[in-house]
Structure 1
Amino acid sequence: MDSPWQGKHVLVTGGLGFLGSHFVTELLAHGAYVSAVTRRAHPRRCTWLPENGNLRVLEFDPLDGTRLRAALCRATPRLDAIVHCAGMDGNAEFKRRHSTEILNVNVRLAANVLNGARDAGIATVVMASSAETNPGPAQVPFVPGRSVDGYARSKACAEFLAELHRKQHGTRTFLPRFANLYGPRDCFGDAARVIPAMLTRILAGDAVEVWGDGQQLRSFIHVTDAVRATLQIAAQDREHLVTIGTAETISIVDLAGLLFGLLGVPEQITTLATGGRQPQGRALDVSVMNRLTDFTPRTLRDGLAETIRWYRAEHGGRQPPPYAIRGT
């Protein structure tokens, strides 16, 4: 059966990054023609992408709205869709320290992509959003004023811009609200998210540090499952705001224990006092995603085992270099 993405011309921002590179890989597997936009074509990250005549890599910063608009308007043949993955992200501490910059960068990127799509007559824009925009039950619109997190606010603003473009300009926007993503090609370094940060410390022989009592619940989805679900739902055009995740939750301390067990290393977990209350988390309502997709995402245990195999193959016994979160 032919894929609805077969033969489509798609531009992916952040195309050599963690999430974007998986979109590129999956779209190529569906028979799409893909332009992967990156600020710099890092040689190691280029090896993540398959050798495919349908792929081209474009090296420029999408924060440059003029350059992005030119690339979109001059694309031949005209692009059918944009998948927007570029942006600033990181762990909780990184987000706290850089909230202003994150908000500024991510909103500018979203505006550049949406305005460029409008001017170039591109029908479909998929914009990676986050379940963090949603303080209540899944699928409920974010209410401004409930968060001082620049990252969550940036995603909420991007969603609002996308809704305006959908209503005023007829752009077919799709907003997948991702749970915590993990899997191969994730970013390491000072701003690493919780799973690669824990993984790095355990393999270095260090203790994993957990804030508070470690009972905060988190929901994760393997990045390839998230991409697969997104492309299926976006192609249907039945829902345009969907939480992408699983109903499975795990506490931070249990996550650390699971990683120690999968790595076959004795547990070393240190709890740290924190001055502020840590978000407790909740199970996500992923009923819409489950209704519109034809597969069951892998369990966290299975996904982590796969991630560990990739990590060992990619880095061996070496510590990975600290790649920046933005710049993909």
Structure 2
Amino acid sequence: MTGDSTAAVTDSHYEHQYLDLLRRVWEHGDERRDRTGVGTRALFGPQLRFSLDGGAVPLLTTKRVAWKTAAREMLWFLTGDTNIRRLVEQKVHIWTDWPLDRYRRATGEQVTRDAFEARILADDAFAAEWGDLGPVYGKQWVDWPTYEPAGDDLFRRGNGVNQIAELVEAIRNNPTSRRLLFTGWNVAELNRMALPPCHMTYQFFVANGRLSGLLWQRSCDLGLGFAFNAFSAAMLVHMLAQQCDLLPGELVWSGGDAHIYLNHEHLVREQLSREPRGHPRLELLRRPTSIFDYKIDDFRVVDYDPHPHIAAPVAV
């Protein structure tokens, strides 16, 4: 089924757009089998728009979102790292399920997540073998592989392309360009990734001294993933705007397959019973030398008073 066109942005609270989409997908989405075997209900092609003026961020309030976890993940992407070890060191567990599943399938050992992560932290060789996710997001963002002729129809690895560094320079020096974008969808390397990129392409637009960003997400888990994806994309716009001496404009979120897992019914019904409250803002406490030098302590969210967290399983 096809999603409705752009949701109205005149609601009294920015989160009503998301809640309306959650309701429409659950009540009218096409019920489908999916890769995970869990099953989903899905709509195709919805779009939401969020103002980022004055530090605004689309941080959900109808459930508590661990925004620092999302921020740590975004900062990890920008390092180009593809091993979960740095995340686990920060008590970020959102990428552990994929290598853990691979380890269990390969060895037959039904190790717990905690035990697996403890070995990742304690054993360098184990972390190198089992903690790597393949060339996921950050690798493509800051080190997209290139190849150059090496003679006799052979090729050798060339210097990688740092899409983020090139984006910053382009925004600064050619702000009306229609090529202000980066992507993680490297077709040649998809089969080596633990998970092909869901939030796959980001495009930017400068007008009237403001920077806006559009996130194209081929696949979006509305129950769990959206909250992180929307916040981290808005955070990135704020960072880029600061680095390029611009003000934040808006975040446009566009989804391809926007879905809810069938085992998330309790989450949907609980969230839809809650009323959004407050307008949290993201504060950048420092301007680092470059887009790659931000630390988690450089960010603060104020005026965030969400409803309680809602637990739900991740489909791997």
For the pair shown, which has the larger CA radius of gyration, 1 or 2? 2
**TM-score, normalised with respect to structure 2:** 0.25
**TM-score, normalised with respect to structure 1:** 0.25
Q: Which has the higher contact order (CA 8 A, sep 6+)?
A: 2
